[in-house]
Structure formats: C-alpha cells, structure tokens
C-alpha cells in the first residue's frame, strides 16, 4: 500500500497558482532590488541638485501708507523691520535687529525709544544709539512705492539717515 508524503508533494499534483518558498524568495529579492533602486535614485537626485541656501526675499510689501498713522512706529515681526511714519508724514524703515549681538528690539511707545531686551541698548526713533552697548545705529533700509501705491522695503539696500519716503 502506497503512503503519500505530505511534505514532498508530487509537483505534477501541485496546483499551478500555489505559492512556494521559491516564489516567496523571488518576491523578497525583487523587493530588495526595488528598494535599493529607489534609495539610490533619491540619493542621486539629492547629489545632483544645487546645494544652495534658500533665503527669504529681501524686498517685501508693507501695505498702504494710509495704514500707518503719522507719528507711528510699527514693528513687522516677520521681516524684523520698523516702519516709521514721522509726524510730518514721511516714512523710513529701520532694521529691528540690534547692532550689538542681533536681538530683536522693541518699540517702547511710552518712552518714545527702541529698546533691546538683551543687554539694554536703546535707540531713538531715528535709530541712533542713545545707550550702549550697541556700537552702531540701526540700519535704515530703502523704501519706495510700487505701481499700486504700496510701500516696498528692500532690506538689501541700506541708505543714509537722510533718506526718507514722502507720500
């Protein structure tokens, strides 16, 4: 009487779509090759892409002149710039970055000064140092109007303290 061996089935009796250890290993191998190809593609793309630092643009729009009352000092926190409108109506823009060690200064309306919270430097509303340790005045940036009448400030262009924008 013939006994059937469950562990070594006759290949002729095996169904055509059965999943064997060979199929499993082929699948694992193909997966590993695919993962290696994707990984090397990602690394190649990263290697070939230019290695540049993306910095925010230096020019930005600061809104309409009417939104700044005469005699106001407004800090644009994102741009780190004070937009100053003199009582006479003209504008100028000052860096809010302290010239000592780079902290962001604040406008103190009650005292009428710009004060740095880090080491006590103080500046007048023109950006001049009135108390140290800041070694230099706050830089003044170029200001202009665009075609729609909006204020435009360019932080890449430092101008003299006489530069103002009359609107």
Maximum pairwise Cα distance, the chain: 116
Q: Among 74, 76, 128, 133, which residue sits at the site for ligand FES (rule: CB under 6 A)?
A: 133
Closest CA to 64 of 151, 147, 4: 151
C-alpha pair distances (Å), 160 with each of 86, 127, 164: 16, 11, 9
Binding mask 54-83 for ligand FES (x = CB under 6 A): ------------------------------
Closest distance between ligand FES and the C-beta of residue 102, in Å?
6
- Residue 152 binds ligand FES, judged by CB under 6 A: no
Instruction: Show contacts with ligand FES in window 78-117 (CB under 6 A).
Output: 98, 100-103, 116
Binding mask 10-49 for ligand FES (x = CB under 6 A): ----------------------------------------
CB 37 within 8 A of CB 31: no
Closest distance between ligand FES and the C-beta of residue 115, in Å?
9
Question: Which of 113/118 has CB closer to ligand FES?
Answer: 118
Which residues contact ligand FES (rule: CB under 6 A)? 98, 100-103, 116, 118-121, 133-134
């Amino acid at each position: 009487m013939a006994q059937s061996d469950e562990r070594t089935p006759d290949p002729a009796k095996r169904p055509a779509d059965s999943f064997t250890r060979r199929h499993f290993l082929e699948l694992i191998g193909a997966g590993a090759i695919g993962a290696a190809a994707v990984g090397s593609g990602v690394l190649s793309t990263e290697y070939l892409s230019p290695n540049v630092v993306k910095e925010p643009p230096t020019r930005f729009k600061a809104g309409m002149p009417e939104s700044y009352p005469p005699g106001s000092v407004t800090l644009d926190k994102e741009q780190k710039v004070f937009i100053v409108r003199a009582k006479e109506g003209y504008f100028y823009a000052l860096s809010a970055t302290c010239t000592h060690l780079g902290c962001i200064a604040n406008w103190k309306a009650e005292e009428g000064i710009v004060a740095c919270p880090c080491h006590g430097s103080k500046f007048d509303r023109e950006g001049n140092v009135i108390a140290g340790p800041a070694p230099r005045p706050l830089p003044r940036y170029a200001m202009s109007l665009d075609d729609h009448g909006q204020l435009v400030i360019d932080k890449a262009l430092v101008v003299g303290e006489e530069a103002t924008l009359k609107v």
